[in-house]
Amino acid sequence: MKVFFAIISIIFATDALSSLNIEYKPASSEIRKECHLLSEKQVQSKFMFLFELFDGTVLSRLEKPLDLEVRVDDLLGTAQYSSSENVIRLPICFSKESERRSDDVMKGIYAHEYGHAYFHYNMMLKSKKYRFNYEIIQKFETIEAEISVLENKEVANLEELNKLKAQLAVLASSYAKAELDLLFIKGYNEFFADVVAVVYSHNLDIMWEATSSSKKFSAGRERSFSSFHKLDGWQGSSPYFLLSPTRSFLGKMRIHKLSTDHAAQFVSDLFDIIIEQIDITRNTLLDQFEEDPNKIIYLYDVYPVNINSRMIQRIMPLF
């Protein structure tokens, strides 16, 4: 596997992708028994598309995340993006317990995680409210971690501990509001990442296939762009399903057939619309949630019809 890392490094230098660092960590032989054993050549070809996805294609009209790190790991698990670490973790394979995903489906999954990375980075650049709330959360959780370290010491520095707890108390109210804000934004985040996966893979059902071992099962169907999700009465019981009627609309618009240039422009325009719609939703709903945080459930049980209707109306002129 060292050969793979060396080849990656050469391409990294040749393409001058100064913002992308790729690290490969082979797992133990015991873990590798649970998945397909790939040759070095197979591993290399499996992840070459990462450079294409990062340096162009459907994300080329948005700002590149700086210092984004990709960790390719053959530990069992799922792909995920960590905004706090600015790291995308990609598994080489999934467990034998689930039906094998094709390479195309896995590429769609990875494109979805890139969508999350680009969403977060561009939101930090373009939305002051998002950046403020994210920084509040990071500050609060950093202090929490420092308190935990001090409390676990045999002899704690009580003066420092009390100082940190006082700082935490001051931030508590702002932290609660910031968490609430990012919770409702998650529905838009997941929707955007799904769009990136669809236009990159040219497959309207890529996220349905990614979340279910077989399309015979309904699990994940709400993330399909080819299925009909009726707008009237829609209840998005999860951030992943909040904008499913909008997914249906985009499926009718055949976004999976867009050329690379048109897809890149569409993704960029869609991102700007999402920022606009987030502000509208925030101004409409969050004053209620601040009075009673438990009302956040209304976002997913009562208001999805309005949220989808506004989104569809704003997207229509793009076609």
For residue 230, what are the domain limits?
174-318
pTM of the model: 0.83
- Which regions in the chain score pLDDT beneath 50? 1-19, 31, 95-99
Same domain assignment for residues 297 and 183:
yes
Residue 280 counted as domain residue = yes
Instruction: Give pLDDT, residue 12.
Output: 38
- Same domain membership, residue 97 and residue 208: no
Asked if the structure places residue 169 within a domain, the reply is no
Each as own residue / partner, the long-range contacts of residues 40-48 (CB below 8 Å, 24 or more positions apart, any chain) are: 40/1, 40/3, 40/4, 43/1, 43/4, 43/72, 43/92, 44/4, 44/7, 44/8, 46/92, 46/103, 46/106, 47/8, 47/22, 47/72, 47/90, 48/11
Same domain, 106 and 203: no
**Whether residue 57 sits in one domain with residue 182:** no
The pLDDT value given to residue 280:
87
Pairing of strands 87-91, 68-73: parallel
Q: Are residues 271 and 208 in the same domain?
A: yes
Are residues 66 and 184 located together in one domain of the fold? no
Q: How far is CA 49 from each of CA 207, 260, 265, rounded to the nearest angstrom?
A: 18, 14, 20
Instruction: Tokens for 316, please give them.
Output: 């229509």
Q: Which of 272, 128, 274, 116 is nearest to 196 (CA)?
A: 116
Whether residue 179 sits in one domain with residue 243 = yes
Same domain, 89 and 186: no
Q: Are residues 121 and 178 in the same domain?
A: no
Number of domains in the chain: 2
Last residue of a domain, one of 125, 142, 163: 125
Do residues 73 and 27 make contact, with C-beta atoms less than 8 angstroms apart? yes
Residue that is last in its domain, among 125, 149, 183:
125
Q: Look at residue 264 and tell me if it is in a domain.
A: yes
Are 184 and 314 contained in the same domain? yes
Residues sharing a CB contact under 8 Å with residue 257, sequence separation 6 or more, in sequence order:
202
Same domain as 190, residue 285: yes
Beta strand 87-91 pairing with 20-25: unpaired
Q: Which of 125, 153, 183 is the last residue of a domain?
A: 125
In a domain, 314, yes or no: yes
pLDDT, residue 235, reads 79
Note whether residue 102 is domain-resident.
yes
Q: Report if residue 234 sits inside a domain.
A: yes
Are 101 and 195 members of one domain?
Answer: no
In a domain, 168, yes or no: no
Give pLDDT tens digits for 18-77: 345 556 565 555 545 555 555 556 556 666 666 666 666 788 899 988 888 887 765 556
Q: Please check whether residue 227 lies inside any domain of the structure.
A: yes
Q: What angle do CA 132, 298, 170 make, to 5 degrees?
A: 35
Strand order in the sheet with 20-25: 20-25, 68-73, 87-91, 80-82
